[in-house]
Amino acid sequence: MKKRILNDAQIADLTVLLYNTLKDPQAWTEFLCTAARLFGARGAQIIHQNVHDFRLSFTKVTGYDWTPGAYATYAELIPEDPRLALFLENPGQVVHCRMRMTDAEYHQSRVYREVLRDAGVEYLCGVNFSDDRQHIFGMFLLRDHLQSPFSVQECDAMQELVPHIKRVLTLHGFIERLEVENQILHDTLDALGAGVVLIDGSAKIEIANKAARALLMEGGNIAERAGHLHCKTRNGEMTNEMLRMVRSSNGLYPFEIPRDPGDPLLVFMTPYKPSQSRYNPRPLRDDGAVIVMRASDTQKDLAGQARVLELLWGLTPSQARLSCLLSGGKTLQASAADMHITEASARQYLKVIFQKLDVNRQSDLVRKVLSVLVSAKPG
C-alpha cells in the first residue's frame, strides 16, 4: 500500500482551518502556515493572478517577504515564466514545476535569474482552477534551493484538499462580490438627498439610507421602534394601513406626515415584491414597500430643481416649475395658485408635460420626476 503523506487527522485539521477563513479572512495566515509546515514547504500562497495585467492580481503568501521592486519586476516577466504553461494546461489538477521542466530550463529563465532566485523560490507545487489562459486562480506551496523538489506523492496528498480549496476560494470570491455590490448600493443610497427606506410586510426596516436615518431619529410621527417603521399621516393612517393602501393601489402613493417643528414630511410609497429565489439567504417575509421621504423644508431650491428638468426634458421654466410642485405633493389647484396662473392654464401645461415626458398619468409624471429630483441633495 502506498504510504500517505498526510493522515486523515491532518487533512481534517487543514480543512477546518480552510473553512475558518470564510468567517475571518485573517485565518488565511494560520491555514497557509500550517499547510506549509505539514508539506515541508518554506511557504504557501493563495493567488488570483491576471497573466496579462498584474495590477488586477491578488496574492496572500506566507514564508516569503518580497520587496515592491521584486513584485514590479515579476509583473513584467510573468508571460516568460516557464512554469506558467504547466499550471494553465492542467486546471483542477495538482502538479509540481519539475514535471515538464529541467533545472537548467528553469535557471536560464529571466524570471528566475532576475526575481525568483533572490526571493528563494526554487520549487513549486499547486493547483490552478481557472480554465482559461488569462488567469491563475488557486493555491501553491513553495520551497527554496536547500529543500527537495516536490514529489508525485505530495501532489496526490494535496489533491485530497482540492475540492475544499476550490469551494472556499469560490465562496470567498462570491462573498467579496456581494460585499462590493452591497457597499455600492449603500453608498449610492446615502448620496441621495431624499430618505429611502425598504420595509417588509410587517414594517420591519430592511434598508435605510443616511438621510432616512436622520429623519427617523427626529421621532414624532415617523420613527424607528424596535427595528420597525412607525408612521402616522396627517389623515391618521398608521403604517400597516399605509401598506394596505399601497398594495391595493399597486403604484406610487403619496402621504403627508406632520413634523413638529418643521414643514410636513412628504412620503411616497410604492409596493415591493421580494424575490422568490431559493438562494436568497434572508428573504422578506411578505410583500413590503419602498419609501421615499422628502422634508419639504429641505427642498427650497425649486429653481435649481426646475432647471434640471428643463435641461433633461426640454421643459419651459413654467412647465418645469409645475412638475416640481406636483412632485412635491401639491395638488394641481394648489400648484396653479403658487404659480399665479389659472387651473385651466395648469392643465394645458400638464398636457404638454405629459407629451415631453412620454407619460399618460400624473402619478407616472411624479414618479419620473422624483427619480431625478431625489438624487439632488439640498444645497
pTM, two decimals, is 0.52
Q: Please state, in angstroms and rounded to a whole number, the distance separating the CA atoms of residues 187 and 146.
A: 51
Beta-bridged to residue 265, according to DSSP, are 257, 295
Q: Who contacts 358 (Cβ-Cβ below 8 Å, separation ≥6)?
A: none
Please give the helix or strand (H or E) that residue 252 lies within, else none.
none
C-alpha 80/C-alpha 85 separation (Å) is 10
Whole-angstrom Cα distance, residue 2 to residue 237?
A: 77
Based on the number of CB atoms within 10 Å of its own CB, is 223 exposed (0-12), middle (13-18) or buried (19 or more)?
middle
Query: pLDDT tens-digit profile of 59-73?
Result: 788 998 877 778 778
Identify whether the C-beta of residue 347 lies closer than 8 Å to the C-beta of residue 365. Answer: no
How far, in Å, CA of 214 to CA of 205, rounded? 14
Sketch out the chain's domains with CATH numbers. Answer: 8-177 (3.30.450.80), 191-297 (3.30.450.20), 302-373 (1.10.10.10)
Reading the chain (379 residues) residue by residue, the pLDDT tens digits are 456 788 889 999 999 999 999 988 889 999 999 999 999 999 999 988 777 765 556 778 899 887 777 877 888 888 889 999 999 999 999 999 999 899 999 999 999 999 999 999 999 999 999 888 777 889 999 999 999 999 999 999 999 999 999 999 888 876 666 666 677 777 777 777 678 898 888 888 888 888 888 888 887 898 998 889 999 988 888 998 988 888 887 777 778 888 877 777 878 888 887 654 433 444 445 678 888 887 654 445 667 778 878 888 999 999 999 998 888 778 899 999 999 999 999 999 999 999 999 999 888 888 788 767 655 554 4
